[in-house]
Amino acid sequence: MPTSNRHRVQSWVSAGSLGLLLTCAASVLAQSSPAASAQNAREECEKTFKPSTGQPGKDVVWVPTNDGLVTRMLEMAQVGKNDLVYDLGAGDGKIAIAAAKQFGARAVGVEYNPDMARLAQCMVRAEGVGERVNVIQGDIFETDFSKATVVTLYLLPELNLRLRPTLLKMKPGTRVVSHSFLMDDWRPDESSVSTDGAAYLWIVPADVSGKWTFQQQGGKDSFEVELAQAFQKLSGTAGTAKQEITSGEMRGSQIELMFSEGDVHTRLKGELKGDRIEAEVTRNDKTSTYIGARRSS
Ligand SMILES: C[S@@+](CC[C@H](N)C(=O)[O-])C[C@H]1O[C@@H](n2cnc3c(N)ncnc32)[C@H](O)[C@@H]1O
């Protein structure tokens, strides 16, 4: 072979080897990246039990929430590292895992199907969040989830309704997010509908129904309020002339209401703390602090 040709062949061979070497290195790196090893570990989990969409469950079939909506649901609930998220009917554990991985929360998944619960536990280990996430095999209607600060659901309307009394007894401010399904006449505080699907948020309201006297701090003004409450919505009367409350709402322990007596417009914004309401009250553009004391419930 002439020298010039030999050189060309040698360069081609060494360029080819370098290319091959780089490809191998890239593939080794890709395989050893945390995402790739989590993926491998997830695939290992599915070798023992691979679920299929629509498979029967105790009260509802398994259909996973898509990744985009999982994130959206947890964003709506403003999940953070101090939260304890319970996913009722946890499936493969993806909501509980995302709560820990993406939002730093602690999470518990409750799943009735033992194969599914074991798969979810394996997925938790595969994703490296075993310290913050627990999946328990159990029935959501027999499991105590009262310590949750956030509850996530992808069930059915009638199952949401069965859970509703328990949810309403939870600590005021607890966030409940449901994929697709509503809670009948307990209207959501927020809704998000996109191509990923529909998600609804409720914030467990504190109970402020009853008669209250609000006394201005450092002043002489006071007024009476009588509140009726349907979930987060407040109605009732206020002031000496017992005027209708024009708007009133609870968001957890936060209260907001408005009423007018003749030309005097009152807007109250406050918080229930124990058995009193600490509020900023604006009456005809003047704002001051009032304390509400409950006279009867
Ligand atoms: C629609 S899937 C939702 C899975 C997961 N939460 C998600 O959004 O990807 C409902 C899950 O609830 C489980 N399930 C049904 N009835 C249950 C019950 N009474 N207690 C616990 N889990 C239940 C099913 O096995 C299924 O995995």
Residue 12 has pLDDT above 50, yes or no: no
Tell me how far the alpha carbon of residue 74 lies from the centroid of ligand 1, in angstroms: 17
Q: Whose CA is nearest to atom 2 of ligand 1?
A: 62
Compute the distance between CA of residue 200 and CA of residue 75 in angstroms, rounded to an integer. 11
Q: Domains in the chain and their CATH numbers?
A: 67-203 (3.40.50.150), 210-296 (2.40.128.120)
Residues near ligand 1 (Cβ within 6 A): 57-60, 62-65, 87, 89-91, 94-95, 110-113, 116, 139-141, 154, 179
The CA-atom distances, in angstroms, between 65 and each of 39, 89, 159, 204, 274 are 18, 11, 17, 23, 38
Place of tokens 């009423």: 259
pLDDT of res. 28: 55
Residue 183 has phi, psi (to 5 degrees) of: -125, 40
Tell me how far the alpha carbon of residue 232 lies from the centroid of ligand 1, in angstroms: 28
Q: Residue type at 2?
A: P
Query: Per residue in 246-281, pLDDT tens?
Result: 999 999 999 999 999 989 999 999 999 999 999 999
Length of the chain: 297
Residue 245 has pLDDT above 60, yes or no: yes
- To the nearest 10 degrees (0 to 180), the angle between helices 114-126 and 34-48 is 160
Q: Whose CA is nearest to atom 4 of ligand 1?
A: 91
Tell me how far the alpha carbon of residue 108 lies from the centroid of ligand 1, in angstroms: 13
Q: Residue type at 7?
A: H
Tell me how far the alpha carbon of residue 156 lies from the centroid of ligand 1, in angstroms: 10
CB 206 within 8 A of CB 172: yes
Query: Per residue in 95-124, pLDDT tens?
Result: 999 999 999 999 999 999 999 999 999 999
CB 75 within 8 A of CB 177: no
pLDDT of res. 278: 98
